[in-house]
Each structure stands twice: as structure tokens, then as C-alpha cells.
Homo-oligomer: A and B are copies of this chain.
Amino acid sequence: MGKGETTRQAILDRAMTLASQVGLTGLTIGRLAEDLELSKSGLFGHFQSKEALQIQVLEHAAETFVEQVVRPALAEPRGLPRLRALVERWLAWDSSLPGGCVFVAAAAELDDRPGSVRLRLVELQRQWIDFIATSVRRAIDEGHVARETDAVQFAQDLYGIMLAWHHHSRLLGDPVAEQRARRAFEALLVAAAAREALPS
């Protein structure tokens, strides 16, 4: 990475953290400049427009998510171990940002705001939900989960568990919310008649 690219990555890291707190639509070039103590004109050189900044923050968040959640889970055996690793890492991801998952904030803000930022968010969210559903199908293939399990239903239900956890812990400050999210995931596995993989 050249010096320009290193600077850009550092700016995007800071912008992602800020977006987790003030929301993606709250993230303007002016606000970021203030936060970084840089000049607005310098930041315009990197991002051109508010929308370009917001989209690049989404891309950066997606890359970071793949790095912290998807890639380590892919190192686990297919099926249930991988699914469990995804959930563990997903929980850790939300906790790693001061305002929690930047996608949760962006989703609620952008669902009624058509435009290029929303389009990109929808693509990224679909990719992630498809990835969960595919992981459930792999668990079926491995015989870890009952054949009748509806992978898309499982993915939506798991998403709900994570959203409720985010809501109950971030907004309501409920210290038991994370434990309940884990229990709900276990109940989802019980309903899917999940059998732990035997050591081979």
C-alpha cells in the first residue's frame, strides 16, 4: 500500500466508527473533517461527495466484516462448527464498534431513502443473508441439521436474534440480552434438530 492508500484506509476506519455512532446519513465530509481535524478540502480530494464517502464506508465495513467474521469462520469445518463460528464472530463484530454494527444503523436509516447508497447497502445485506443460508445448507449436507430445515427461514430468524440483541443491549442497556441471543440461537438449532459433528 502506498502512503495515499494507507491514509485513505485510516480515514475510512475512523469514518466507519463514526458512522456506527451518528449513522451513515449523519456522516458528512464536514463532520468527518472535524472528527479527524483535517481540512474539508483535503477530504474532498479523497471522496468527492457525501454519497461517495458513505458508499466507501459501506465497502470498508463489508471488507472489515469479511476479515473479522467470514474468513475466520471459513477456517472452521463445514456445517455446524462453521455456523457456530459465524454467530460468535458476528456477536464480537457488533461489540467491536462503539455504536455497534454499522449495517444495523444504516438499514433503519436508509430503508425509505432511495439512492445509490441504499442500493449498495441492499446488495451487501443480501450477500450476507445468502451466505448465512448457504452455511445452513452446508450444515444440512453434512448431516448436522435436519434435511427439512428451511435455510432462508433460518437466516431471517438468526438475523432477528442479532437485531433484537443489538436493540436490547444498545438501546435498553439490558446486560442479559447477549445471553438471551445465545439461548435463542441454541433454540433455533434445537428446532432444526441439529446434531453436533462427532470428532472423526
- Residues of chain A at the chain B interface (Cβ within 8 Å): 20-23, 25-26, 98-100, 104-105, 107-112, 118, 121-122, 125-126, 129, 152-153, 156-157, 159-168, 170-173, 176-177, 180-181, 183-184, 187, 190-191
Decide: A156 and B164 in contact? CB cutoff 8 A.
yes
Most buried by B among A20, A23, A152: A23
Number of copies: 2
Q: Are A22 and B160 also in contact (CB < 8 A) when A122-B171, A125-B171 are?
A: no
Decide: A107 and B167 in contact? CB cutoff 8 A.
yes
What is the bound-complex CA distance between A166 and B104, given in angstroms?
A: 12
Q: B100, B122, B156, B191: which contacts A111 (Cβ < 8 A)?
A: B100
